[in-house]
Chain A
Amino acid sequence: MHKKSGTAIRVVVFVALLSLLWVSGSQAQEYPKGPVQIVIPFAPGGSTDIFWRGISEHMAKSVGGQIALVNKAGGGGILGTSFVVNAKPDGYTLLSANSDPLNIAPLFTPDAPYDAEKDVTFIAKLAVFPFAITVRADAPFKTLEDLVAYAKANPKKLKSAVAGVGTTPHMINEMFNRDAKVEITPVPFAGGGECVPALLGGHVDMTVLSIAPVKAQVLSGKVRVLALFSPTRFRDFPQIPTVAEKGYKTSNIATGIGIGGPKGLPPAIVKKWEDAAAKTMKEPKVIEIVDKLEGLIIDFKNGEGYRKEVLTDLATFKPIVPTLTGKK
């Protein structure tokens, strides 16, 4: 009896040692050795969150590791972004690098805890939310020209629901005002989900909103999309013109979603994720998922390309913000 339990103990020791060996074996593997935490700087349930939940499985496969998605919401994305910016650049803490917290939110914060130009490593751009000008189906405006003509004749009369202060649609509204020489008053609501009922209920005249929340309303004939802020027409609505076609400069501004990390991220790790992202965004299954989420368009760019885009937009938004906050 005594001898038998001795054997059992030795078996346990053997298995324990063997598993240690196995662990050290896997340690010898290259990056990533453990799960990589990707911080989503927004709350669960937002479009960025749903996008990541949709593709993370495929992204993890491409990079050959595990991904743990962590929501750190607050301050228009500033909290989550600054958490990653201050993390160790070991490739185990990465960021869902949305353009808003990088090039808009810091402009509203007197002490933004990071500088998109210096403190962030851009890895890749994955997708983009294009925005559109939408009115109710019973509105007198059939085209963008109608709307602009009315806005010119009635300054400040048109009210436009935008998804929150300091968001891309808020910026677009202001830039369109500047380019078209009109005065459309933005009314900030808490997210796109509140803009749609405000438009349908007739409380505002129009909304600058991403396609996703309005698509169901377009299909049921309750609203009409006048123009799209996107370089190309939207595949699902080929009849809707882009703002660029109508001759306005404010044509190519949209919210980007990408991957980023703290500065000083080893180039090998950046390369690995860049390649993985490029591969993932080409997978038919991923294309299908993003397609179904509606209003999101896959827009892969490498790290340098995304960085340039974010910084260019930052320079564009910079002079607009003081006019909004009243600190001229």
Chain B
Amino acid sequence: MEILNQLLFGFSVALQPMNLIYCFFGVLVGTLIGVLPGVGPAAALSLLLPVTFHVPPVSTIILLAGITYGAMYGGSTTSILVNIPGEAASVVTCLDGYQMARKGRAGPALGIAAFGSFIAGTITVFILVFLAPTLANAALKFGPPEYFTLMVLGLSIMVYLARGSIINALIMVCFGLILGTIGLDPMVGVPRFVYRMNTLMDGVGLVQVVIGLFGVSEVLINVERSFKQEEIFETKIKGLLPNREDWRRSIGPIGRGSILGFFLGIIPGMSVVIPTFVSYVIEKKLSKHPEKFGTGMIEGVAGPEAANNAASTGTLVPMLSLGIPTGASTALLLGALMIHGIRPGPLLIQDAPEIFWGVVASLYVGNVMLLVLNLPLIGLWVKILKIPYHFLFSLILLLCIVGSYITNNNPYDVIIMVVFGLVGYLMKKFDYEAAPLVLALVLGPMMETALRRSLVISDGGFAIFFTRPISASFLIVALLVLLSPLVLRKKRLREELRAAE
């Protein structure tokens, strides 16, 4: 009851007219920057930070938090419409979302992404309220060995991500892992595969790689198709909102995606990217038609979209209850609060209850606003696909170039994006999928640093991975995942393989 009272108090803060306006402004800006590829929420937060000095602290965090989760809503839009992931967290949404759009079902795809995010937002707000402090302390149990074994588990599910040939997928995984080693060695600072190019010191940018592999390569393929007079988008639009059948299929993925995203989001250092991949793979595993994933299955949009929204709520847990920022966005939120003289941390709930509960309530209010804001936009977005492709593709390329430049304001990043556009084109021609590459590129560097940190901590002993309970259980699950097809679904795997070859 105590908590409910405080939540009501939170709503009384969040629903003040001024705070509602700030919340609306935040989610609007967030949606816009989410739509624009390359601009992450951190850049927008940083730009708006000086403005917030003149705004009361509660409103500040409501505004800034609105941008963070607004961006998660907006990110799916370009993925679904034109196959450009707005940010790395919506790469997975491209796989089935874009295929739905090509079949004239962009509306339901965008709709389920918005509803999925909303439901995820609602579920996670309640978990946040009841469990935040406990969870934050549990997340601290994750040290380098746990990260490493979690990454091993992540890699073990990679095979299920593949739609076609498993061998090709494994080749892409290795390619991604190799790409991930480019840059300054994270432990001793020796440059690797940099070839005296300073742009490569931090490795190849994830955003540039995904924009190239997905956006640019798709444009190249489509230009080719339009020369052959093939139809790219089915122009007949089949519904603007998800129908009853869509809902029936999506509700499970949304629920699972929310829970999964939230718990993975809490772990410091885990990005919002990984939960989306995990959610996709789980849905594919659970589906009765795994072979249809990648051809426009709504489950493949609903689950990951719920997961990335839930994960961005999850990242607030360590920030609010421990005062630990787990990423650039939360660091900016923290900075904004500190300039107002408020220090998030274990004492926040006692010292500034209006901040904690106000933020929690505004998360919910913001999610309602986002839904109201995004649903009418769907009609508008879908109309974009009516533009003849020979006009549309130049616009898409422009978005790709701007998006890859704007992350670091570095012109060489555009070159990287173009190179990966060509690589992506060849990959499509020869039936290699981009998704395993992207996941490997995300996991690889995290896995490497986690492994090497663990070994420094254990003075070189590998026992550290087996003696710690969480770490050991991840390894066991990974082993089960790897062996399960051999034991349980040998037949189906064989069919899948045959279908692919």
Chain A residues packing against B (C-beta within 8 Å): 43-47, 49-50, 53-54, 56-57, 70-76, 78-79, 82, 108-111, 113, 156, 159, 164-166, 185, 187-190, 193-194, 196-198, 200-204, 213, 215-217, 219-220, 222, 289, 292-294, 321, 324-327
Contact = CB atoms under 8 A, between A and B. Distances in A.
B325 interface: yes
A187 B142 CA distance: 16
B185 interface: yes
B190 A325 contact: yes
B345 A44 contact: no
A156 B456 CA distance: 10
Contacts of B141: 201
Interface in B402-424: 408-410
Contacts of A46: 328, 331
Contact of B339 (A44, A45, A54, A327): A54
A75 B343 contact: no
B337 to A, nearest CB: 9
A159 B46 CA distance: 34
A47 B335 CA distance: 8
16 contacts: A43-B42, A44-B328, A49-B332, A53-B46, A79-B198, A109-B191, A187-B144, A188-B187, A189-B453, A203-B457, A213-B323, A219-B347, A292-B338, A292-B339, A293-B339, A326-B190
B87 to A, nearest CB: 14
Given A71-B43, A197-B318, A220-B346, A188 B410 contact: no
Nearest to B344: A216
Given A56-B50, A165-B185, A165-B189, A159 B332 contact: no
Interface of B: 42-43, 45-47, 49-50, 53, 139-144, 184-191, 196, 198-199, 201-202, 268-269, 318, 322-329, 331-332, 335, 338-341, 343-347, 408-410, 449, 453, 456-457, 459
Contact of B347 (A113, A156, A220): A220
A71 B46 contact: yes
Contact of A188 (B46, B186, B202, B328): B186
A269 B482 CA distance: 65
| Interface-central residue, B45, B335, B459, by most chain A CB under 10 Å | B335
Contacts of B329: 45
A204 B457 contact: yes
B409 A71 contact: yes
Contacts of B456: 159, 185, 187
A67 to B, nearest CB: 10
Nearest to A293: B338
A74 B345 contact: no
Contacts of B45: 44-45
Nearest to B188: A325
Contact of B143 (A82, A111, A203): A203
B335 A50 contact: yes
B198 A113 contact: yes
A187 B332 contact: no
